[in-house]
């Protein structure tokens, strides 16, 4: 049997999908759309090189890496992004062979293989499974999942409307999103009214493309007892609410019978940042919300 390392080609798409699925499963990552997209683009790998180690054309594993060539004041480096040897081939020297092939490519480019991120350097020859944090930020994803789990538990305990998150980012393809493309949508408890009712904040994470930049942006509406409140003026809510990081506060009753709560607000953009607080004034009789901002702009 002949074992060798070669670059992946378009004909390896199915094999690449299986290897990626195995690697993601080990790290408890659920990104079916990412696997489909990566497999479809395996020959180009969106800027990352992909190597397969095969035995008589049976894939035993793969690695992706980023290569930065030397430049003025920069020595260059080869950074391994992902690395996997399948279960049946571990402990047979496949990991060491794949690592040697990567080191040879680094040497040919006149750079060194950089230390693995958040892992021991021998991870490629012992554990033989690795994803760099620059590819998947596990700490962030687990923290975010913990926020949602905690909020759902608290909502169930206190009788708030059940928080919802429909995260399409990892379940639908987003190669070249058009303006208005939906990434995620959800709903969180936002304001507790003195009469026991709860105002919820609904968000839709939309792809926007503007002169100064583009990317995901949250669009907000508020709802009371399932019915949307009409916003009197532009409605801005801190994005931390879409990550389930906050809990609803009890509104105070104003002299005119409306209810008000004050929350902190921060947003950064091309020119600087906006920070401060916003009053949200709820009028159940008119089914409206009136934001009143106390926000200061800080230029970069």
Average pLDDT over residues 70-99: 94
Confidence class for position 44, pLDDT limits 50, 70, 90? low
Considering only CA atoms, which of 208, 200, 183, 179 is closest in space to residue 282?
200
Considering only CA atoms, which of 273, 247, 271 is closest in space to residue 261?
247
Angle between the 32-40 and 13-26 helix axes, to the nearest 10 degrees? 150
Higher pLDDT, 47 or 22: 22
Report the helix count and the strand count for the chain, using DSSP H and E. Answer: 4, 16
Considering only CA atoms, which of 181, 180, 184 is closest in space to residue 170?
184
Confidence class for position 213, pLDDT limits 50, 70, 90? low
Give the pLDDT confidence score for residue 40 in this predicted structure.
Answer: 84
Q: Which domains does the chain have, with CATH numbers?
A: 3-131 (3.40.630.30), 160-299 (no CATH)
Give the pLDDT confidence score for residue 172 in this predicted structure.
Answer: 84
> Rounded to an integer, what distance in angstroms lies between the CA atom of residue 82 and that of residue 123?
11
**Residue 199 in this model has a pLDDT that exceeds 90:** yes
């Amino acid at each position: 049997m002949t074992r060798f390392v070669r670059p992946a080609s378009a004909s390896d798409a199915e094999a690449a999908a299986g290897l990626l699925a195995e690697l993601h499963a080990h790290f408890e990552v659920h990104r079916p759309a990412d696997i489909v997209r990566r497999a479809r683009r395996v020959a180009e790998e969106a800027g990352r090189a992909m190597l397969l180690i095969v035995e008589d054309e049976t894939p035993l594993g793969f690695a992706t890496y980023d290569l930065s060539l030397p430049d003025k004041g920069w020595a260059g480096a080869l950074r391994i992004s992902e690395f996997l040897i399948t279960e049946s081939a571990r402990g047979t020297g496949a990991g060491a062979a794949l690592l040697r092939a990567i080191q040879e490519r680094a040497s040919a480019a006149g750079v060194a293989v950089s230390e693995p991120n958040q892992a021991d350097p021998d991870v490629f020859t012992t554990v033989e499974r690795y994803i760099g944090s620059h590819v998947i930020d596990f700490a962030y994803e687990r923290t975010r999942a913990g926020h949602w789990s905690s909020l759902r538990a608290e909502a169930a305990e206190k009788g708030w409307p059940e928080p919802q998150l429909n995260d399409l980012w990892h379940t639908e393809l987003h190669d070249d999103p058009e303006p208005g493309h939906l990434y995620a949508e959800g709903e969180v408890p936002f304001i507790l009214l003195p009469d026991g009712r709860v105002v919820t904040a609904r968000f839709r994470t939309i792809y926007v493309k503007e002169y100064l930049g583009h990317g995901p942006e949250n669009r907000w509406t508020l709802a009371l007892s399932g019915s949307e409140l009409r916003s009197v003026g532009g409605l801005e809510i801190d994005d931390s609410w879409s990550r389930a990081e906050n809990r609803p506060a009890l509104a105070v009753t104003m002299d005119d019978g409306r209810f008000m709560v004050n929350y902190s607000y921060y947003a950064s953009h091309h020119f600087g940042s906006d920070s401060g607080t916003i009053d949200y004034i709820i009028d159940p009789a008119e089914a409206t919300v009136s934001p009143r901002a106390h926000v200061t702009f800080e230029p970069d």
